[in-house]
């Protein structure tokens, strides 16, 4: 591992990078509720000109977990997109929650 902030945090908190991948897969997985939210948004979009239907305010999960390639880039200090950084943050905070430790903010990771 190199000396990036992300790699140092994982080392100091004793987090295995594979646990981050698993946590991200669990967090970002699409559920039945997410699919109904997307369907409601799609239907509201198609009926936009017609009647005034209720707008969907909830946000579905992305359905896109952190990939091993993105994790390697974060550990090596490569460039990451904003959504990828957010997914990594949510996954790390999930692992820290499981270890009964305080969550971190995005500035502590990147």
Residue 96, pLDDT score: 96
pLDDT in tens, 58-89: 888 888 999 999 999 999 998 999 999 999 99
Q: Is 83 in a helix, a strand, or coil?
A: helix
Q: Give the start-to-end residue ranges of the domains of the chain.
A: 1-17+66-110, 30-64
Residue 97 has pLDDT above 80, yes or no: yes
pTM of the predicted model, to two decimals? Answer: 0.81
């Amino acid at each position: 591992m190199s000396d990036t902030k992300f790699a140092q945090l994982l080392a100091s908190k004793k987090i295995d990078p594979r646990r981050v991948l698993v946590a991200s897969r669990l967090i970002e997985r699409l559920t039945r509720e997410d699919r109904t939210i997307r369907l409601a948004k799609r239907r509201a979009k198609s009926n936009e000109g017609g009647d005034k239907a209720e707008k969907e305010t909830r946000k579905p999960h992305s359905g896109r977990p952190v990939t091993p390639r993105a994790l390697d880039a974060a550990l090596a200090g490569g460039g990451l997109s904003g959504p990828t950084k957010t997914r990594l943050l949510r996954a790390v905070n999930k692992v820290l929650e499981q270890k009964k430790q305080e969550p971190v903010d995005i500035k502590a990771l990147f």
